[in-house]
Amino acid sequence: MRLLPPQWAAFVVLFIDVVVIVFGFLTGSPLLPRAANLVLTVVSIALMFGTRLWSKGGFGYDSFGSMWTLLRRTLPLWLIVAATIAFWGGIFLFAHPLLTVDDIGSLDATANQRGWVGLSAAFASGTLVYAGIVQRAADSR
């Protein structure tokens, strides 16, 4: 199965997220300026909303039975695994600094960047899965 245009865009955002996260862990300093983190997050959220508009509002998956059956029929296994890791990893990277720091103002720049990039990764991975499901579910009808 070929990746669809919204999936390619989400894949590019996820690649940038991974590079930023790995750079931050290896060097201990942020790769992007503060404004770029916000832009990356806004782009991934816009991708999700754009995919929703592209799919004309959603899909009906009741004919597939369970959600797992829908995923297996519409997406390759590697994409399901990658998106799951990116989604839950992104949620963790976003929530961890917020739950472990006493004062939000005391977050260092690298932890702040990991939080924003984690949120971006969560939305981009959701777009990756959602775009594949809606398109292929529509194709199978």
Identify the DSSP state of 58: -
Domain boundaries along the sequence of the chain: 5-139
- What does each of the 141 residues of the chain score in pLDDT, given as a tens digit? 677 888 888 889 999 999 999 998 899 888 988 889 889 999 999 988 888 887 776 555 555 566 677 777 777 888 889 889 999 999 999 998 888 877 777 778 888 888 899 999 999 998 888 888 777 666 665
What is the predicted pLDDT for the residue at 28? 86
Calculate ∠ Cα 46-91-106, nearest 5°.
Answer: 100
pTM of the model: 0.81
